[in-house]
Amino acid sequence: MRKRLTPRFNRRTAQPLALASAAAVVLAACSGGGGNDSGSGDNDGKNGPAAIVVKPGSGTGKVPVNRKVTVRAQGGSLSSVEVGSPGPGKLSGTWSEDKSVWTSSTPLAPGATYTVKARGTASGGSALDKTTSFTTEAARNAFVGTYFPDKGTKVGVAMPVSITFNKPIRDKAAVERKLKVTASPAVEGSWSWMKDRDGKDRVDYRPETYWKTGTEVTLRMDLAGVNAGGGVYGTQQRVVNFRIGDAVTSTVDARKKTMTVARNGKTLRTLKISAGKKGFETWNGTMVVLGKVPTLRMNSDTVGIFGPEAYDLGEVKWDVQLTPSGTYAHAAPWNEGKFGVVNGSHGCIGMSTSDAKWFYDQVHLGDPVTVVNSVDTVAANNGYGDWNVDWDTWKEGSALR
């Protein structure tokens, strides 16, 4: 049962490497309280042991974001410096005239772990090599994303990758750039931004057509230290793997009052159903199974239906949820005699108790249920109505287009 809503499209520290020549003596050099900041190289006899010194370095605790990173070749020169973090990326920097010092020019991001890799040459000719890391202080104002599906799950062919954020995302491109989905076998896909039903920023990823059965999908979120705009920074580093199961597809024909269920292209059964009556028509278009429960109390108050059409059905059996606005496929024994004959529900897909139990056992999270010959196409943000958006329009929803 659901309230009629207007559809809207808005849903670790490496130890220093000792790479000195046979004639060289490797000595430790401290860096600003970081006992692990040792380098390697020659003793030039003038300035002490040759080494690369990094500040801040490992063991310095949480680093304020207003600090600069300095990399110094003591008793030699630098050939390369790379400082970066998976989320905010690499830091830019400037060189001293003699290339003995590199100083960062890009601000540090909060809540991020940076790795410093530097190479150089001691004045005596031996190699200098240094790797260290440090972590910055956490952001005072952070955002996180709630993502679906969960790690290690098996889902249906229509399940998108979906992330809803707890704070407004003003720089969507910066965030999207640090989100990556890969699949095996490979498939073209795209992110698309929308407003979730509660007004939060949400971004979903899907292929042009349904995933293939057996596809292995990986979501990578490198958001730690990413600036989403307005002084809001990310904190998450996640790798989420999931798998695509059988292609269980269901087609509801509201005119014929039937639902045909197929697995991997083979029809299993055609069930007699009763869809939404006039004024409460079942959403047209493709909805995606959000979850299922064996028993659920259905009361029209929860979906804003009052007056003559109000109802309290008590405990309803074999409930498969299709939208957060209240669309379910479930047992409807009170409508016995209407199945296959007349549409008599308030928007749900009702059927006999035995048929509802059978359907409940067939479908799982991410399976598509497509309604034809009804009215008002389900919105992209009403659950996972993503598939009702044509591919070109979907791709235009990416912040990187």
Residues 16 and 132 sit within 8 Å (Cβ to Cβ): yes
Q: Which two tokens stand for residue 140?
A: 């005072």
Catalytic: which of 30, 330, 346, 364?
A: 330
Catalytic: which of 30, 346, 348, 364?
A: 348
Known catalytic residue at 348: yes
The widest CA-to-CA distance across the chain, in whole angstroms, is 99
Q: Which of 105, 50, 62 is nearest to 83 (CA)?
A: 105
Residues 63 and 136 sit within 8 Å (Cβ to Cβ): yes
Q: 324 preceded by cis ω (within 30°)?
A: no
Known catalytic residue at 30: no
Within 8 A by CB and 6+ apart from 271, the residues are 258, 259, 260, 261, 351, 355, 358, 359
* CA atoms within 13 Å, Cβ hemisphere of 232: 16
Q: Which two tokens stand for residue 19?
A: 């790479």
**DSSP strand E in 303-367: where?**
312-321, 328-331, 349-351
**Rounded CA gap, 19 and 130, in Å?**
10
Q: Where in the sequence numbering do the catalytic residues fall?
A: 330, 348
